[in-house]
Chain A
Amino acid sequence: MERTVTRRQVLKAAGVTAAAVTSPWWMVKSSHAQRAKKLVFWHLPNFTPLADELQKQQVYEFAKSAGLKDTDVEYSTVAGEQAMAKLTAGIEAGNPPDVIRLYESNVQFYAAGGHLLDLHDLVQRMRREPKGIFESSLTAVMYKGRAMGAPLAVNPWPVHARLDLLEQARLEYPKTWDEFIETSKKIQSPPRLFAFGMCLGLVEDTTDNVMNLLWCYGGKMVQADNKTVVMSSPENVAGMKVIEAMFKTHKIIPPGAISWDNSGNNKAYQSKQAAFIMNPTSVYAYLDGNDKDLQKVTGLFPVPAGPKGTVNQIDTWSYAAFKKTPYPELAKGLIDYLMQPANYDKIIQSTGGRWVPVYKRLFDSPFWKEKPAFKHFIQMAETGVPVSYAGAPTPAAGEVLNTHLIPKMVQRVLVDNWEPAKALDECHKRIADVYARYEKA
């Protein structure tokens, strides 16, 4: 039997095919269109419920002042670790939040993708505040000479040190890494207490801890041109030999540190199994709410000096607004409102030292002057460098951090017993490949 195809069937099939083929376009288009209803703010939790509550209040205060109703605002709390998957989906669907807080290199990553609103004017206004802002925070937000995010806080990575143990041994906080090793040997009592909770697992904190020590020996990952990788330098070799000696010869780092996650050093300090750790003040803020006794005997210090002096790490969180926002002026206005020193100071202080203000004049407040633990913060914020030093926190630097190329090098030395020079050579090639790829793109 011969089967005939009618004109109507052909038209139907053509209609269905056309709809299917063009569906991604109209779905994304209409997806974006239906978003034009609320001002969307994604909040990443801070360390105190009070800080979270204050921030929420301020977002709604701003909305009210801008003539919006509470129902015109969508305030979502997104757990930090999960935010990136959500954000990726939101951007792909043309439906990202209007305002979000981004970590370090993510500002430049999304700026490079053309996703962020230019906040240069706003940041310039921040810089014009009396005493200005810590210029060190700008490396994270500047992309092609424009500020694509508003630096929210400078986070120093001080050494958390057990003052009670130093006092018992009648020792001062060590000024150099050589002194640090000697002091460590005197105050530790393994296996219950190791001196140095240095993170050495395949995680981001390892890159931070290791690079911080290498800087003191004159080492770097990349030059300031953000192109020339210098990982296999003699200075880095010298620094890696010190880390190797601390782990294998002096045994001041717990053996388990090679398998720690990002919370490993926190846990070691919080459980009094480490006398020193290098970490943002999240540990100090945690102790504020959970172990006041330990907090009282915790000092926060700059890292000891190496042959090239002391170099301290900072990282920077920033507010950013997405271009897809149907309310660009409201989004910028919200960031402006949150960053007004009077509003901002309330939130910063309510985090109990977790967030260090980006405005220099806020350090005049008794909050920062009364606690000896905060004594070194202003100097650290002033001179601190990002983990990508001497380069900026570019997308390439972000990939190096996220793919753990430096922790893998460390494990070559400590686990596979490679010579530091050989491990650094391998690491250099890998990092150079990453930077070359981004340079081409």
Chain B
Amino acid sequence: MRSVTRTRRVLKWTGNVLLVVFLVWTLVPFYWMLVTSLKKDKEIYGFEATLVPRQPNLDAYRRLFAQTPFVKYLVNSTIIAVSTTAASLVLGCLGAYALARLRFPGRRLIARGLIFSYLVPPALLFIPLFTVMSTLNLIDTRHGLTLVYLSFTLPFCTWLLLGYFRSVPLELEEAALVDGCSRMSALVRIILPISLPALAVVAFFSFTQAWNEFLYANVFVNSVDVRTITTGLTLFVVEDVFFWGPMMGAACLATIPPVLIYLIFQRWVVKGLTLGAVKG
């Protein structure tokens, strides 16, 4: 009995130690970003790497807000990420519902195509997409970038929701239809409320993907008025000179919205990942 207890205790402590190691592994880069943004250039380039800034100051942030269009980048990223999320949710729900419930030719092919299209790397797509975007006069526009982002968020979201909708008992919907609901009304009133965890995952996924995306934002956007945070960060590197303070400050601020979104949706995200994502 005593040896079982001891084994459990050892396992528990081993688990805790591992957790602490992973926690440090995850948090140290963020901590380093934060302290670097609070240091002066001389300290950043100093011989000794200091874990705590000697003279913490907000110069990098002042420079960020006063001398760069960082706020513009922030606003653009927010508009584009929110629009992508909203469109992914609406279109993903409709697409997934159609694939899960309606019978039409090519349904299976489309469902498989979703995954294949998601797996095509952006580095292969950016040139043909540039041509399409140019033709449609969508280069250097926020709505153009949102449409491009849908090319990778929508297939994944639809596929994920498809799996989730299939797990919802058909009888619930049939009962609603018998009671006079239309297909759309059954989707909105019955299916979506019980799919909240999956919707939270889809929203979180779309938002973070759109927020962090770099390649398309770099290629399809030229002007400062449309530039997002990820591409704005590159302007803190001029040839072989890095302006670490403002860059780290911008990176710190850029991590806040996804973290907030995660904290808000955390409960549903975890549930959604364990329920919906494994069914397909």
Q: A-side interface residues toward B, CB under 8 Å?
A: 24, 27-28, 30-32, 34-35, 40, 42, 45-47, 49, 74, 76-82, 85-86, 88-90, 92-95, 192, 205, 262-263, 266-267, 270-273, 279-280, 282-283, 286, 290-291
Question: Which residue of the partner chain, among B41, B130, B231, B237, contacts A95 with CB atoms under 8 Å?
Answer: B130
Nearest opposing residue in chain A for B132, CB measure: A27
Question: Which residue of the partner chain, among A24, A49, A85, A282, contacts B240 with CB atoms under 8 Å?
Answer: A282
Nearest opposing residue in chain A for B48, CB measure: A192
Known: A192-B47, A271-B46. A34 touches B134 (CB 8 A): yes
- Of the listed residues B131, B234, B240, the one surrounded by the most CB atoms of chain A closer than 10 A to its CB is B240
Residues A31 and B131 in contact, CB atoms below 8 Å apart = yes
Nearest opposing residue in chain B for A42, CB measure: B222
Nearest opposing residue in chain B for A268, CB measure: B45
Q: Which residues of B lie under 8 Å from residue A85 when comparing CB positions?
A: 126, 215, 218-219
Known: A77-B224, A192-B47. A93 touches B241 (CB 8 A): no
Residues B130 and A89 in contact, CB atoms below 8 Å apart = yes
Inter-chain CA distance A45–B234, complex, in Å, is 11
Q: Which residues of B lie under 8 Å from residue A49 when comparing CB positions?
A: 67
> What is the distance, in angstroms, from B72's C-beta to the closest C-beta of chain A?
12
Q: How many chain B residues touch A (Cβ–Cβ < 8 Å)? A: 31
Q: Which residues of A lie under 8 Å from residue B3 when comparing CB positions?
A: none
Known: A85-B215, A85-B218, A290-B41. A93 touches B240 (CB 8 A): no
B26 interface residue per 8 A CB criterion: no
Instruction: In the A-B complex, list the 3 residue pairs whose CB atoms are closest, starting with the nearest.
Output: A31-B134, A76-B222, A271-B45
Inter-chain CA distance A81–B67, complex, in Å, is 21
Inter-chain CA distance A88–B130, complex, in Å, is 10
> What is the distance, in angstroms, from B212's C-beta to the closest C-beta of chain A?
16
Inter-chain CA distance A77–B227, complex, in Å, is 10
Q: Which residues of B lie under 8 Å from residue A47 when comparing CB positions?
A: 238, 241
B235 interface residue per 8 A CB criterion: yes
> What is the distance, in angstroms, from B206's C-beta to the closest C-beta of chain A?
24
* A–B Cβ pairs within 8 angstroms, 25 of them: A24-B131, A31-B131, A31-B134, A35-B134, A40-B222, A42-B222, A45-B235, A47-B241, A76-B223, A80-B239, A85-B218, A90-B130, A94-B131, A94-B134, A263-B241, A266-B241, A267-B242, A271-B46, A279-B240, A280-B239, A280-B240, A282-B238, A283-B241, A286-B241, A291-B41
B103 interface residue per 8 A CB criterion: no
Known: A74-B223, A90-B130. A27 touches B135 (CB 8 A): yes
Q: Which residues of A lie under 8 Å from residue B17 when comparing CB positions?
A: none
Question: Which residue of the partner chain, among B41, B137, B223, B238, contacts A34 with CB atoms under 8 Å?
Answer: B137
> What is the distance, in angstroms, from A415's C-beta to the closest C-beta of chain B?
23
Residues A92 and B231 in contact, CB atoms below 8 Å apart = no
Inter-chain CA distance A279–B127, complex, in Å, is 35
Q: Which residues of B lie under 8 Å from residue A92 when comparing CB positions?
A: 127, 130-131
Q: Which residues of A lie under 8 Å from residue B242 when comparing CB positions?
A: 263, 267
Contact mask for chain B residues 130-143; partner A; CB cutoff 8 A; 1 contact, 0 none: 11101101011000
Nearest opposing residue in chain B for A271, CB measure: B45
Residues A263 and B219 in contact, CB atoms below 8 Å apart = no
Nearest opposing residue in chain A for B217, CB measure: A82
Residues B231 and A82 in contact, CB atoms below 8 Å apart = yes
Residues B238 and A45 in contact, CB atoms below 8 Å apart = yes
B42 interface residue per 8 A CB criterion: yes
Residues B46 and A82 in contact, CB atoms below 8 Å apart = no
Question: Which residue of the partner chain, among A40, A46, A89, A290, contacts B126 with CB atoms under 8 Å?
Answer: A89
Known: A31-B134, A279-B240, A282-B239. A270 touches B45 (CB 8 A): yes
